[in-house]
Amino acid sequence: MRTFISFTIKSIIIILLFSTSEVGNAQLPPVFKITENANAQVSELTTTYLSPSRIIWKKADGRAVINNESCLLLKGKGQADLANTNVCTLKSDDSNTPSLIFDFEREIHGGIQIVTGSTSTGKPVKVRIRFGESVSETMSDVGEKGATNDHAIRDAVLEIPWLGVLEFGNSGFRFVRIDLIDQNTEVQLKEVRAKFVYQDIPYLGSFKCNDELLNEIWMTGAYTVHLNLQNYLWDGIKRDRLVWIGDIHPEVSTVNTVFGYNAAVPRSLDLARDITPLPQWMNGISSYSLWWIITHKDWYMNQGDLKYLKEQKEYLIPLLRRLISMIGSDGKEQLDGTRFLDWPSSENPEAIQSGLQALMVWALSAGKDLCLILDEKGVANECEGAVEKLRKYTPNANNSKQGGSLLSISGLITPEEGNKIVTNNGVQNFSTFYGYYMLQALAKAGNYNGALESIRQYWGGMLSVGATTFWEDFDINWLKNASPIDEIPQPGKVDIHGDYGNYCYKGLRHSLCHGWASGPTAWLSEHVLGIKVLEPGCKKIQILPNLGNLEYAEGTYPTPFGVLSVKHTKDAKGEIKSEIKAPKGVKIIR
């Protein structure tokens, strides 16, 4: 007899137990045990298979043939069989190869599953598979318009079996193109499905108001981060499948808002810490070590895990002291390493200096708070003195919305000054990463209508050209005469994916699913629903809604005690009536 004991993810233990009793003349294997001490790792990811929603394009020139492709839109089973009924037939000649492009309706992370029937040769046949975040990307060659296999192989020639199943790919995509490569060959495709790999977790947070565009934007930001919540929290699922510890801050804000506690967050924060011995900067960028401190403060305020915070003490204290040592006698920050805020501001040294000065104030203020919690009063006092010193100097942001927003958030300039910088020329020169902090600066100045309109125009602009996740970068001017990403670019139109992009994301290398772009999700819950955490672990929460020009807004927010629910309605006099349901253990301040 044999019994199988399943694994538990929390303990990360897998046990396969075989008895030593005889079955006939056979002896079963002895006990085999794998535990975390044996370097075992259990994935927290789930796999789901999705059939395509439509076939966007097909090509069968000359004597090449494609028959019955509509059968590939049916729900599949993932099993080959001998019936060979209801299959799609692809047939090539000596110079023409048939091709299909599939649309899976939304951006996903994972790969492709192909279930085959017979082949004319009775052997495997070669196909080319191309994943794309846009239709344009599926129609490119590597090197064309920036198309790449960096970080994830999204363009490859491989063999599919005779009467079998092939699974291939580990990337971010919405569209897949399949070309039959072998000449004078016929193959039957029974199924073509996307293999969707993700964390199967509930959306505990929610947002709904009378503006459907804002509702869609909130959910798109949440979904963008959800896709990047793999075993670690990545920045992008196609390119930048890495833990960028600065980029993680808006992502963690979204995780706190939508999902609550998720183990990928501390795992990612710890990875950055463990691979970055001091005095190195995380990811080689000085500001990213600052973001690590700020993110830990936000994470602790939402989750209240003191044991985990204490685990950071050994690294946190010397990091804070290293930062304090990099302040000049005049109060100017003197950070070395790569000096970086985001890519659009990277050619503006004054913007970078103003942003780093502000981030130093923000990070050392957060460091002071963390040190007080950790009973490190001496280091807390050092941080406080350093912040006072930094406040003696205020750099010029040089019209940078990135620098101006951080100066406002840190209190180095007035909210009115920050609002003036951010609102200059509307959403021109917004960025997907620092757009979150631009919105925060507008909120600090009380400009909620301006912030809502910026969200509609900028993040709504991506949705208007077919986005189902938010992008690594976006310029509002890209919308002029642009083909949507879910269509083949038309002559005379701009290929918004292939023709734009800059720095490390030129053309099709540009990631169209970047977690750092999710800022509106956290912002809408914090400022429109008015949910602000005041004490660690959400023990005290302030509810102060700002509906702006909205008629109502309602939603939920995850806390360690359960889900908080709020609903705000504006009456005929413009006064807001609120309904609040808080879980036991959460004190509400209004």
Q: Are residues 24 and 53 in the same domain?
A: no
Residue 492 within a domain: no
Q: Are residues 188 and 173 in the same domain?
A: yes
Residue 114 within a domain: yes
Q: Are residues 19 and 52 in the same domain?
A: no
The neighbouring-strand residues paired with 279 are none
Q: Are residues 14 and 84 in the same domain?
A: no
Residue 194 within a domain: yes
Q: Are residues 182 and 84 in the same domain?
A: yes
Q: What is the DSSP string of 221-268?
A: HHHHHHHHBSSSB-SBSSS--S--TTTHHHHHHHHHHHT---THHHHH
Phi/psi region, residue 492 (left: phi>0; alpha: psi -120 to 50; beta: rest), is left
Instruction: Please check whether residue 363 is in contact with residue 321, taking contact to mean a CB–CB distance below 8 angstroms.
Output: no
CATH at 143: 2.60.120.260
Residue 207 within a domain: no
How many Å from the N-terminal Cα to the C-terminal Cα in the chain? 64
Q: Are residues 9 and 60 in the same domain?
A: no
Question: Which pLDDT value is given to residue 216?
Answer: 98
- Provide the 3-class DSSP secondary structure of residue 533: strand
Please tell me the total count of domains within the chain: 4
Residue 528 within a domain: no
d(Cα 221, Cα 458) in Å, to the nearest integer? Answer: 13
**What are the φ and ψ backbone dihedral angles of 440, each rounded to 5 degrees?**
-65, -40
279: cis peptide before it, omega within 30°?
Answer: yes
Q: Are residues 129 and 188 in the same domain?
A: yes
Q: Are residues 51 and 74 in the same domain?
A: yes
Q: Are residues 82 and 27 in the same domain?
A: no
User: Which residues constitute the domain of residue 322?
Assistant: 276-413
Last residue of some domain: 397, 413, 429?
413
pTM of the shown model = 0.93
Question: Which pLDDT value is given to residue 10?
Answer: 33
Question: Which pLDDT value is given to residue 495?
Answer: 97
Residue 205 within a domain: no
Closest CA to 252 of 213, 214, 302: 302
Residue 218 within a domain: no
Last residue of some domain: 141, 166, 198?
198
Last residue of some domain: 370, 390, 413?
413
Q: Are residues 35 and 106 in the same domain?
A: no
Question: Which pLDDT value is given to residue 41?
Answer: 63
Closest CA to 461 of 484, 443, 488, 436: 484
Dihedral angle sign, alpha carbons of residues 444, 450, 456, 458: negative
Residue 517 within a domain: no
Q: Are residues 56 and 189 in the same domain?
A: yes
pLDDT 10s digit of each residue in the chain, 590 long?
Answer: 333 223 233 332 222 333 333 434 445 455 444 444 555 566 789 999 999 999 999 999 999 999 999 999 999 999 999 998 899 999 999 999 999 999 999 999 999 999 999 999 999 999 999 999 999 999 999 999 999 999 999 999 999 999 999 999 999 999 999 999 999 999 999 999 999 999 999 999 999 999 999 999 999 999 999 999 999 999 999 999 999 999 999 999 999 999 999 999 999 999 999 999 999 999 999 999 999 999 999 999 999 999 999 999 999 999 999 999 999 999 999 999 999 999 999 999 999 999 999 999 999 999 999 999 999 999 999 999 999 999 999 999 999 999 999 999 999 999 999 999 999 999 999 999 999 999 999 999 999 999 999 999 999 999 999 999 999 999 999 999 999 999 999 999 999 999 999 999 999 999 999 999 999 999 999 999 999 999 999 999 999 999 999 999 999 999 999 999 999 999 999 999 999 999 999 999 99
Q: Are residues 17 and 73 in the same domain?
A: no
